[in-house]
Structure 1
Amino acid sequence: MTTDTAALSDTTNKPLQVVFLHLDLGIGGAEQLVLQLAHASASPHVGHEVHLVTTRCDPTHCFASVQPGGDLHDALHVKGQWIPADLCGYARAFCSTLRVLYLSFWIARRWPDVDLIVVDVLPTPLPFLRYLSHAALLFYCHFPDQLLVRQPSASGRVSQNHRALALAKHYYRQLLNAVEELSMRHADLCVVNSCFTQQTVRNTFPSSFPEPNPLPVLYPALDGAPSIVDLISSSSNKKKNLIVSLNRYERKKNLDLLIRAAAWLRQHNQPMPEAVANQTEQTHFEIVIAGGYDVRNVENVEYRAELEQLANQLNVPVTFLQSIDDGTRASLLAHALCVVYTPTGEHFGIVPLEAMYVGTPVVAVDDGGPKETIRHGVTGFLCQPTPADFGQALQTLLNDPEHAERMGRAGREHVRDTF
């Protein structure tokens, strides 16, 4: 324990001044986590003085708590908007580094006596904050940043200029990777969001986080706001054919898997004898894909268009919703027959936890964080990322809504008792 953290531990009985540094407060799991931590720290029974510092928070593309009139809006400080997010589509990581460094200098000047600074996503500001501030430093690692970078695809013959550019990009990325690891060492405490991320961090940075050095897992919390809690009792009024996906419009989220699974289901679904006897029609279902969407994000725009085209090609009716509000999100979670979660290698995944909390079973990929949250066959299904595997899981739930209800009740108990 450093002098700073030792001093912090001696003041736990009095309110602290806590600053959260986050690059971009949009709509996503990382942003949701930061806001929940800030909200909990500022709650009356804790009473810390909380500030949120970011370079961007679009009122039309952020969570309600930081919108005008929200609980945390007065604690929000948006600085450094003048620093570009990229340079003509390039050097995004470099620009992100400049943006968080600017925030770190601004924080040090604005609150010279701050007690705790919480940094997430990018650890780059940690060495500067260590030098500029006496605050204790907590780094919340969602996933190693270098593993989130898309590797260029291999190609055949390339020109000499392209080889030189590729070599320059390689060394540029290697430098950023080294900075990432060195920066993480300056935190007084690093925590991760799942056991999956914990092992990935240890494998990526073996010299910095060797066994058995502590690297605590701090699971993201659930939102206990009335809009969620009130829907628990109403979740019994489920639509027995509503299938919901909640995720950002990004290709890595693999949302097209749900559309392909629905197409498989339409071709192969055979209702159970009980469904035939009850004259229930389970070959018809309603799919809603909702998620974070920013018109300034090229991938969001392109991928949504690709999904719509795929749905039309496969003749699968899908309702697409963009950047929905908290009430709509809560209602979809509570009233769906099931929630489908399609990413592979997801670091944690808050959506499955939210769905189970309101009594809705989850169909997800058998990989990453969902393996830690979903009990296969009890609170949902863990599947291989294929249309047939997902389609069979959906077929089971559609043909036997009572089984889905039992899974939902088990999921609610599982989340309540475990998380």
Structure 2
Amino acid sequence: MIYCHHTYTHSMVMVIIGGAERLIVDAAVELASHGHNVHIFSLHHDRTRCFEETLAGTFPVTVYGAFLPRHIFYHLHAVCAYLRCIFVALCVFMWPSFDVILANQVSVVIPLMKLKKSTKVVFYCHFPDLLLAQHTTILRRIYRKPIEFIEEVTTGGFDKRLRENVEYMEELKNLAEREGVSHQVKFMTS
């Protein structure tokens, strides 16, 4: 769920594209239709193979890091993805502050984006990478260990022992109730 409070009207909203492009583009289109200034930052934007909405001029699409490799000799895909996303995040620091950053898929950018104190960070991940990765060999497990550690540290998860988690969950439930959408929202804590 993406919630954008009405006080953000006419403020800048920034989106980083990772693997869930359709969701990100739909969110950008919807936010722009409600008067928000949206800016998409991406690692790659092929104008011949992209969603039409990204060409319509409703919001700018800025590409950083297209020159960076997606893999090294068909290996190290995850490491390259992390490095490419970190590069984009560092480039974003050249821009003025944004009210909201919607990052998706690669969580390593979350702590970097949180350095912009006036910015709220929303992270979308339809399925954690650590659950998708195969751990079939010792070498693969060694390779995946630091990547999975970074993903776990940068996304946490619901822990009922942590008061902040419990309070935040209650706040979200109250918000859904107040907005009249609680019957349409399912909270999944893990």
> TM-score category by the smaller chain?
0.7 to 0.9
Partner of 1:119: 103
Q: Secondary structure at the match of 2:106?
A: coil
Q: 2:15 aligns with which of 11, 20, 29?
A: 20
Pairing partner for 1:173 from 118, 135, 144 = 144
> What RMSD, in angstroms, separates the aligned Cα atoms of the two structures?
2.7
What residue in structure 2 maps to residue 52 of structure 1?
A: 40
Q: CA deviation at 1:14?
A: 4.0
Partner of 1:273: none
Q: Cα distance, 1:78 vs. partner?
A: 1.0
Q: What do residues 264-302 of structure 1 show as CA deviations (whole Å, max 9, x unaligned)?
A: xxxxxxxxxxxxxxxxxxxxxxxxxxxxxxxxxxxxxxx
SS of the equivalent of 2:149 reads helix
Identity between Structure 1 and Structure 2 (%): 24
Listed one character per residue, the Cα deviations across residues 219-245 of structure 1 (whole Å, up to 9, x for unaligned) are xxxxxxxxxxxxxxxxxxxxxxxxxxx
Runs ≥4 in structure 1, deviation > 2 angstroms? 131-134, 166-169, 210-217
1:32 and 2:3 matched? no
- Name which of 131, 152, 164 aligns with 1:147: 131
Structure 1: segments with no counterpart, 5+ residues: 1-7, 25-29, 153-165, 186-207, 218-417
Matching residue within 150, 153, 158 for 1:209 = 158
Q: 1:172 to 1:151 in 2, by over 3 A?
A: closer
**Greater length-normalized contact order (CA 8 Å, ≥ 6 residues apart):** 2
Residue among 67, 72, 88 paired with 1:82: 67
**Which has the greater radius of gyration?**
1
1:15–1:49 contact (8 Å) kept in structure 2 = yes
SS of corresponding position for 1:12 = helix
**Aligned twin of 2:31:** 41
Q: Structure 2 vs 1, CA of residues 58 and 150 (structure 1 numbering), >3 Å: closer, same or farther? A: farther
Asked if the contact 2:8/2:36 (under 8 Å) is kept, the reply is: no
Give, in angstroms, the shift of residue 168 of structure 1. 3.4
Q: TM-score, normalised by structure 1?
A: 0.36
Query: What TM-score, normalized by structure 2, do the two folds share?
Result: 0.76
Aligned residues: 166
Write out per-residue CA displacement over residues 196-236 of structure 1, whole angstroms, 9 at most, x where no aligned residue: xxxxxxxxxxxx3124743979xxxxxxxxxxxxxxxxxxx
